[in-house]
Structure 1
Amino acid sequence: MSVVSEPVRRRFAEGVRKASGLPATPAEERIFRAFSKVQRERFVRKGPWQLTDPHQGVLLRTNDSNPDQLYRDVLVTLDEQRGIAIGLPSMWAKFLWSANPLNGERVLQVGAGSGYYTAILSELVGNKGSVVATEIEPHLCVLASKALADCHNVSVLNQDATSGFEIEKDQFDLIVAFAGATHPLPHWQSSLKPDGRILAPITDDEGCGAMVLFRQSPNGFVGEIIGTCRFYPCLGARHPDIEADLKQLRAAGELRAGVQLKLHMDENRAFFEVLKRPD
C-alpha cells in the first residue's frame, strides 16, 4: 500500500480540528500534531474499505485501495459482523483533549483494536512515556502489533483487561477504554497513580451513554461527562444494575456534558449518583 503524503495528513488533521470544535490551546495543538503524524493506512487491511460518515448519516464503500480515502473524519470498519471500527477522529480528539495525556505519562489502553489510537497515544506521551495496549481479539492484536512495530514506547498484549490480567497498583497515569463499560472496574482504579484518571465510555445495554473522565476527589471516585457516545460493549466490564441505572439516567437527560457522577457499589446495589449538573 502506498504511503499518504504529509500535506494530505495535515489537511486531515485540520479537518478534524474544525469538526471537533476545540479551542486553540497548547494541549489542542499537541492532539492535532499527533493526528497529522500518524499514518492511518498502517492500521487497516488492504482496501476497498467501508467508511461511516456520521456527519452525513451515510455508509460509504470505497471503490479501490487508494489510502487518501482514509483521511476523512469517518469511522473505518475493522469487523463488520461485530460492529468494530476505528472510531471517529473528531470525537476522539475531543475526548483525548479532555484527558490530556502528557509527555512522560504511562497509559493503559483497554481495547487497542488495530492500534490507530494506540499510535496517537504513543505520540502524546512521547519517548519518555509508555503505552500498554490490550486487545482481546487475536486477529486485531496481530494487526496492531505489526502496525506499531516502530513505536518503541508501546507494548501490545493479547489480553483481557477486565479479568485475568495482572495490573500492579499505582502503575498508570491514565487508563483509556475503547469499548463501552458500565463502570470503571476496581482493579483499573487501584492501578492508577494517586492523581491518575480514567477515560471510559459508560454505556447501557443498548450501547448508548456518555464518555466520562474519572478522577479521585474528596468525594471519592468521581467522573465528569465529556459528551454523549455509542460504543461496542466491553463484555467483562458490565454490571446489570448499573446498566438499568444508566438507562434511567439517559431517559432523564442526565447523561450530558458537564454532569458529575459518583459510583456507588456494595453487595446490595450498584448505581451512579448525580453530584452536580452544569445548570
Structure 2
Amino acid sequence: MGGYEDLDSLAASARAELVREIELSGAWTADPVWREAFRKVPRHLFVPYYYVGVRGGYERRWGEDPDPRARERWVRGAYADAPLATRMRDGELLSSISQPSLMAMMLVELDVRDGDRVLEIGAGTGYNAALLAHRLGADDLVTTVDLDPEITESARRHLDAAGYHPAVVTGDGARGVPERAPYDRILATCALPSVPRAWPAQCRPGGRILTPLATGLVVLTVRDAEHAEGRFLHTPAYFVPLRGADRAAPETPGLGGVPRRAREDDLFRFLLALSRGGLDPQEAYALWDREDAPRRERYGITVSGERAWAWLDDPEGPYAWPFA
C-alpha cells in the first residue's frame, strides 16, 4: 500500500492532499468554512467504483479489487481533482461526480448560510449532498433529487456509509420537490436547456439558484415566485444533461458564413448555446465580433412569469433575446 497500513489511512492522506490542492486554487477563499467539509467527508465512500478513460474505452476501478495495487489506484483516483465517470451504459456516460475544485467553487457561489434549506437537483453519488449536510450541520436541511431510482438508491447507501442522512427523493428534478419547499438555495449539478419555472416558485424571496446552462454556470437571485435574475460566472462548465421527458437540447444550427476563428472559440460556442432559438448564428457572430468576444460574466438570464430571456450587460439593454 505504498507505506500505508490500510485504505483508510491512505484515503485520509489523499483527502488532505486534495484539500491542499483546492486551497491553492483559491476556490473557497470567499467562504473558507467549506475547507472543513472537504476535509471531513470521505469522497472514496461515494465512488465504490468508477471508470477512467483508457485507449479503446474505459477501465473500471473498484474498491473491492483483489489486487492491493489496484485498490490503491482506486483510492488515489477517488481523491484526484478531476471528474469521475460513475455510471456507464453501452459506452454512454449516464452519471458522474464533478471535479472537487469546481464543486467547491459552486458551493461558495451558492452562498449558503446557517439554517438555509437547500435543494440539490441531480443526486449523483450523494457526495455533494454530504458536503452540504456537513456544512449546515443538519441533515434535514438538505434535499437531493434524481429521476433514476438506481441513482437515488446508491446515493442513499453512500450517504448512510458516510454517516449523513439528507432527504433523497426519486423524481423529476425540473419539477423540484414541492413537498419540502420552500428552499433558500437550489443547486443543480446537471445541465438543463432552460430554468424550470418550478424552481423560483419553490424558493423564498431573496433565495439563490445556481445551475449549469449553455456550457456556463448562472447564479439567479429570486425576487418572488415568478421572477429571478442573475449573471453567469466566469468559468466554463460541462455537465451530464438532466434526464427526463422533453429535456433534449436543440441541434446546433448551421454555421455557414461564420469564420473559423469564431467557430473554434469557446466564448463564441457559449454564446451560440445561449442564443439558440433567440439569435441565428450570423446574428450571434455579429454580436460576438462587435463586443470583442465578451466573457461569460457579461451575460445573464431573466425569468419573469412564463417569459425568460438572455442578455449581454443589461437585461433591459439592446442585446437581449428569448431564452426557452
For Structure 1 versus Structure 2, the TM-score category normalised by the shorter chain is 0.7 to 0.9
Q: Structure 2: which amino acid aligns with 1:261?
A: I
Asked whether the 8 Å contact 1:112–1:133 carries over to 2, the reply is yes
Residue 71 of structure 2 aligns to a residue in which SS? coil
Structure 2: tracts of 5 or more residues without a match: 1-5, 62-68, 251-273, 316-324
Partner SS for 1:173: strand
SS at match of 1:223: strand
The one-letter code matched in structure 2 to 1:158 is T
CA RMSD of aligned residues (A): 3.3
Q: 1:23 to 1:109 in 2, by over 3 A?
A: closer
Residues in 2 aligned to 1:169 and 1:239: alpha-carbon distance in whole angstroms? 29
1:112 alignment partner, SS class: coil
CA distance in 1, matches of 2:314, 2:24: 30
In structure 2, how many angstroms separate the alpha carbons of the residues matched to 1:7 and 1:134? 31
Match of 1:151 in 2: 164
Residue 155 of structure 1 and its aligned partner are, at CA, apart by: 0.8
- The 5 Å alignment of 1:64-213 reads 64-66=70-72, 67-80=75-88, 81-83=91-93, 84-127=95-138, 130-149=141-160, 150-152=163-165, 154-163=166-175, 167-168=178-179, 171-203=182-214, 209-213=215-219
In structure 2, the partner of 1:17 is 23
Q: Which amino acid aligns with 2:300?
A: Q
CA–CA distance in 2 between the matches of 1:110 and 1:23? 22
- Please report how far the alpha carbon of residue 77 of structure 1 lies from its aligned counterpart in structure 2 after TM superposition: 1.0
* Structure 1 pair 255–121 and aligned structure 2 pair: CA distance change class (3 A): farther
Unmatched 5+ residue regions in structure 1? 53-58, 204-208
Deviation at 1:210, TM superposition (A): 0.9
The 8 Å contact of residues 299 and 311 in structure 2, kept in 1 or not, is answered as no
Q: 2:45: which partner in 1?
A: 42
**Under a length normalisation based on structure 2, what TM-score does the superposition of the two structures give?**
0.69
Amino acid at match of 2:46: F
- How far residue 6 of structure 1 moved from its aligned partner, in angstroms, is 3.0
More helix by share: 2
Q: Distance in 2 between matches of 1:169 and 1:146?
A: 21
Q: Is the 8 A contact 2:52 2:59 kept in 1?
A: yes
User: How far apart in 2 are the matches of 1:175 and 1:210?
Assistant: 16
Q: TM-score, normalised by structure 1?
A: 0.78
Distance 1:243 1:145, change over 3 A: farther
Change (3 A) 1:129 1:257: farther
**Partner of 2:277 in structure 1?**
244
Structure 1 pair 64–128 and aligned structure 2 pair: CA distance change class (3 A): closer
Q: Percent identity?
A: 22
- Please say which of residues 34-43 and 227-236 is displaced more in the overlay: 227-236
The answer as to whether partners of 1:9 and 1:36 remain within 8 angstroms in 2 is yes
C-alpha separation between the residues in 2 aligned to 1:200 and 1:16?
Answer: 21
